[in-house]
Structure 1
Amino acid sequence: MNSIYLRKMIKTVALVLAVGISATAQAVCANPNLDVVVLGSGGPELSDKRASSGYILRENKKARILVDFGSGASLNFERAGAQIEDLQAVLLSHLHADHVNDFPALVKGAFFSERGRDLPVYGPAGNHAVPPLPQYLQRLFGENGAYAYLSGFLDGSEAFRFKPVTVPFDMKRPQVFSAKAGGFTLRAVPVAHGIIPALGWRIEKDGCSVVFSGDTGNMGRTLDKIAGNADLFVAHNAVPEGSADRIALKLHMPPSEIGRIAAGAGVKSAVLSHFMRRTENVKPQTAEAVGAHYSGRLAFAEDCDIYSVQSGLKTGSCAEK
């Protein structure tokens, strides 16, 4: 093979790859029936009049992917008309109480469902501070667990199992994890959240994508790895702009960082959530700090809000009768 022909081949392959990457990057959301229901827009405080963190991604108003299930989220799960039978996967960002406290309620509720197929539960590997996902579930529902009477949902003696899938957590060499669930592509990346292993999640289908930041200060900017061209970016706003709280900033990103991510990734719409008292009453300042970087659509979530993935617009509330 002569060198001229080889160079032409290399250029052709490079062009094909570039076109493919560009097409992927510019994918158009072709499914108008996907939406996100905010089950909980609050954090760990018990004075914010909000449920703790939780979301469902629906298709044709059927719950498909559950992302976190903090305190109070189970009530809004019911209000949204969600059914355990319809879920394709449960995604846990991390094991802080305000993100998983209602998970035992989900398992108990499964006893009264008609589900007959196993349900995968994705969550992070553990460390010295928290157990890995399989051990966490065993401590809750194993034969010697806190809710041992529900152990059949782990050992297979009930109609189906909650099957743990551990997502690797390595902040030194962060890699994007990928999986498939019921026609959806799931992607996760390790994100910095103090000493707690935590994940950011991206869900894709039909050219549509929604990214959930989870709790993170985004040191190392690992969240950027999965944010590219997201149709909807659900970002947690638990720290105000200008905060001098060094501990809080290791756990949560300020609004300017949310704006930087959204602008750099070409996010089409952003929804802020996971408010705390320190961010609840400074929304104009938050919007200004985000807007200094990002000029796209920005919304502040309330419990039960429903957002179209395709348009980014709020389309209703699960609290409406």
Structure 2
Amino acid sequence: MTKFQITILGCGSATPTTLHNPSSQLVNVNEKLFMIDCGEGTQLQLRKFKTRIGSLHSIFISHLHGDHVFGLPGLLASLSLLGRTSDLNIYAHKEMDLFLNPFIKYFGNPFSYKINLIPLDPHNHQLIFENNSIRVFSFPLKHRIPTNGFLFEEKERPRHIKREMIDFYNIPIRQIKEIKSGADFLTDDGKIINNEVLTTSPTPPRKYAYCSDTAYSPEIISYIQQIDVLYHEATFAETESVRAQETFHSTARQAAEIAKAANVKKLVIGHFSSRYNELSALLNEATAVFPETELAYEGMIINL
């Protein structure tokens, strides 16, 4: 089974604290590294957790608040100093031009590599990236400015061919790929062997979704149904629900309600307000609704 691993680099909100870094994550799919958000200090976190920074494939920015992008200029400069030559795609809202272009013009010319800014649609669900292993979708969240969540979805794998069937029917090696893709097998005497006899169902595709920042938004449930792991912001406890509503953030309980309604397998909550030095109240609040909840922390590794 290929690697599908998430590393939490930062799970705090607004300002860095001694407990938490601002938002950033790495998604490793088959040894390709995809970064989600790039808060202040992200490149230091990359080194702290011994990440192969040169293997960074693409960057996905959920929205243009500082705690999600202030680490980006420094990271881009470091990649150039390290001699990167391959293009870097940054998926972000079109206003990213206003943030990055002055920096690139003043500090970055000439960079050793090309940066491609690919605009996100803040209003619609869309496929934004695809390769042989995965698809990445973006979908709208509910925040003060245009904000998107991301779904990383493994492509469906081939069916499993039964080894004993290969031997029993003397299936040529050249036909195994077709059978694993769903084809029946025709024996030398003209008998058709149905694919269901020869194979078993493939392992279900693994799926991971990232939802930060967002107010409580049942509209996203259809995009994240039955996924393996959901990362959902839980900036506040229910005692601060008015503040959550005013700032378009979620409480831990609301994050759990979304996970429960979407029938996900596991919920990881993060984007914690700096007012919380101790997070057990947030965890208790969420697990009361959705028991399969964990607190995010810097250096947390999630294997799907």
Normalising by structure 1, report the TM-score: 0.72
Q: Verify: 1:208 aligned to 2:206, yes or no.
A: yes
Counting matched residue pairs gives 254
Query: Where does residue 189 of structure 1 map in the other structure?
Result: 139
1:43-62 equivalence runs, <5 A? 43-59=13-29, 62=31
Contact 1:88 1:181 in 2 (8 A): no
Structure 1, unpaired ranges of 5+: 1-29, 126-131, 311-321
Give me the whole-angstrom Cα distance separating, in 2, the residues matched to 1:226 and 1:279.
30
Contact 1:241 1:285 in 2 (8 A): no
1:61-76 equivalence runs, <5 A? 62=31, 64-76=33-45
- Listed one character per residue, the Cα deviations across residues 171-222 of structure 1 (whole Å, up to 9, x for unaligned) are xxxx20112244331111111112x111111112241111111111034x33
Q: Verify: 1:251 aligned to 2:248, yes or no.
A: yes
Query: Which stretch shows the higher mean deviation, 286-295 or 255-264?
Result: 286-295
Give me the whole-angstrom Cα distance separating, in 2, the residues matched to 1:276 and 1:76.
20
Give me the whole-angstrom Cα distance separating, in 2, the residues matched to 1:237 and 1:151.
40
Cα separation, partners in 2 of 1:179 and 1:278, compared to 1, 3 Å: same
Q: Verify: 1:286 aligned to 2:294, yes or no.
A: no
Shift of 1:227: 1.5
Q: Match for 2:7 among 37, 44, 48? A: 37
Identity fraction in percent: 20
Q: Verify: 1:90 aligned to 2:59, yes or no.
A: yes
Cα separation, partners in 2 of 1:292 and 1:249, compared to 1, 3 Å: farther
Please give the secondary structure, in 2, of the residue aligned with 1:55: strand
Shift of 1:240: 1.0
The amino acid across from 2:117 in the alignment is P
Who wins on radius of gyration, i.e. which is larger? 2
Please give the secondary structure, in 2, of the residue aligned with 1:111: helix
Q: How much is the aligned-residue C-alpha RMSD, in angstroms?
A: 2.1
Give me the whole-angstrom Cα distance separating, in 1, the residues matched to 2:245 and 2:110.
39
Q: Verify: 1:261 aligned to 2:258, yes or no.
A: yes
Please give the secondary structure, in 2, of the residue aligned with 1:88: strand
Structure 2, unpaired ranges of 5+: 156-204
Shift of 1:46: 4.0
Give me the whole-angstrom Cα distance separating, in 1, the residues matched to 2:56 and 2:130.
10
Contact 1:239 1:248 in 2 (8 A): no
Contact 2:237 2:253 in 1 (8 A): no
Give me the whole-angstrom Cα distance separating, in 2, the residues matched to 1:85 and 1:202.
24
Please give the secondary structure, in 2, of the residue aligned with 1:90: strand
Contact 2:34 2:57 in 1 (8 A): yes
Query: Where does residue 166 of structure 1 map in the other structure?
Result: 119
- Listed one character per residue, the Cα deviations across residues 16-59 of structure 1 (whole Å, up to 9, x for unaligned) are xxxxxxxxxxxxxx54x211111112122344432111000124
The amino acid across from 2:237 in the alignment is P
Shift of 1:81: 2.7
Contact 2:38 2:71 in 1 (8 A): yes
Give me the whole-angstrom Cα distance separating, in 2, the residues matched to 1:277 and 1:38.
17
Give me the whole-angstrom Cα distance separating, in 2, the residues matched to 1:247 and 1:270.
19
Please give the secondary structure, in 1, of the residue aligned with 2:255: helix
Q: Verify: 1:119 aligned to 2:115, yes or no.
A: no
The amino acid across from 2:80 in the alignment is F
The amino acid across from 2:209 in the alignment is V
Contact 1:227 1:261 in 2 (8 A): no
Give me the whole-angstrom Cα distance separating, in 2, the residues matched to 1:85 and 1:189.
28
Cα separation, partners in 2 of 1:185 and 1:289, compared to 1, 3 Å: same
Contact 1:191 1:218 in 2 (8 A): no
Q: Match for 2:69 among 88, 91, 100? A: 100
Please give the secondary structure, in 2, of the residue aligned with 1:290: helix
Contact 2:215 2:244 in 1 (8 A): no
